[in-house]
Amino acid sequence: MRLTDYTDYALRLLMHLGVNPGKIITVREIADIHRISHNHLCKIAHQLGIHGVLTTLRGRAGGIQLARPPEQIMLGAVIRLTEPDFQMVDCFSETPSSCVLAGRCRLKGVLAEATAAFLARLDQVPLSALLPAAAPSLRAT
């Protein structure tokens, strides 16, 4: 299984905000520090804001911050928000598969179980588990 860059960037964004608790930080600042496309990161921040993971503040003094403490943001929930699907092989799609093994193959079931176990484990991991105990602030200088 491979997570998309979108999810990777979302997790980096959240970790950055997690080590800067209570601070309002611009998407531009985070994009510059992590060398990520500003436009791409804006889309991610917007989605996380819509789903209540981030608080977004508009205007001159605007920026983003975590909407909840890092202990209350579970990685499984974030990954479900940012991954378009977990279609690991063609037979996972809604459209009929052209695979000659369709209907007899057990791979789909095994992969579905593995994906469920993966997400169940991440449902137990809060964002705070990714943050250092005494986190140094990651601010542009």
Hey, where are the domains in the chain? 5-84+126-130
pLDDT band per the 50, 70, 90 thresholds, residue 92: low
pLDDT above 90 covers a percentage of the chain that reads 65
Confidence of residue 116 (pLDDT cuts 50, 70, 90): very high
Name residue 64's beta-bridge partners: 25, 56
- Dihedral sign from CA coordinates of 38, 44, 50, 56: negative
Eight-state DSSP code of residue 37: -
The predicted model gives 37-45 an average pLDDT of: 96
Q: Does the structure show a pLDDT above 50 at 141?
A: no
> Residue 97 pLDDT > 90, yes or no?
no
Q: What is the pTM of this model?
A: 0.84
35: left (phi over 0), alpha (psi -120 to 50) or beta: left
Looking at CATH, the fold of the domain delimited by 5-84+126-130 is given as Arc Repressor Mutant, subunit A (1.10.10)
- pLDDT band (50, 70, 90) for residue 109: confident
> Can you give the pLDDT at residue 126?
97
Note whether 97 and 90 are within 8 A (CB): yes
pLDDT average, residue stretch 21-37? 95
